[in-house]
Amino acid sequence: MPLGSLGIWLLAGVQSALPMALSLKFSPSVFWLVAGSLLCLVEVTVPTAFTAFMMGLSAFLVALVARFAPTHLALQVALWMGFSTALVFLTHRLMPKRKVSAIQDATEAQTLTDILPGQTGRVLYEGNSWRASCGEPTLAIAPNKKVYVVGRQGTTLIVMPEHLLHS
């Protein structure tokens, strides 16, 4: 089967999946096409480092197997799990390794929640929400205040209020 007609078959299967699913009379290959489409859609909306996308591709592969070599559901699930595991493993091994970047001294952030004395709160740092605690354990920091990141302990940022660093 040429690659172009395979794409047309997949597209036709996805387009016809909804009416078939609503009537509850759909083939296993259509089920796997719908499952694969939903998993790929999950990857688009919630990035999962290509895990959901690879699981969706695995579902498409199982849809092909179910279409041309009908098998029992248990075997299809086993194939999906095997394909998913292999594809996730391969893609994660082939992805370039990111280096852990050190936090630069006195980098600006903004508090999102209260940081109470001796407790943690949330800050907006480089466009992401991080858990943070104040470098001075007796101080409280109000929300929407400019702070400076002075260190990190695991996934918790250590911050200091702007007025303390400028005085």
Q: What pLDDT, in 10s, does the model give residues 98-148?
A: 554 555 555 889 999 999 998 999 999 888 889 999 988 888 999 999 999
Confidence of residue 78 (pLDDT cuts 50, 70, 90): very high
Domain identity same for 86 and 8: yes
Structural domain boundaries, residue 24:
3-94
Please give the single-letter amino acid code of residue 94. Answer: L
Residue 29 lies in a domain: yes
Task: Tell whether 100 is covered by a domain.
Answer: no
Q: CB-based contacts of 79: which residues, under 8 Å, 6+ apart? A: 61, 62, 65, 71
Q: Is residue 99 part of a domain?
A: no
Counted domains in the chain? 2
pTM: 0.47
CATH label of the domain that carries residue 159: 2.40.50.140
**pLDDT number for residue 64:** 94
- 118 and 161, same structural domain? yes
Whether 96 contacts 49, CB under 8 Å: no
CA angle 76–44–127, rounded 5-degree value: 140
Q: Are residues 22 and 84 in the same domain?
A: yes
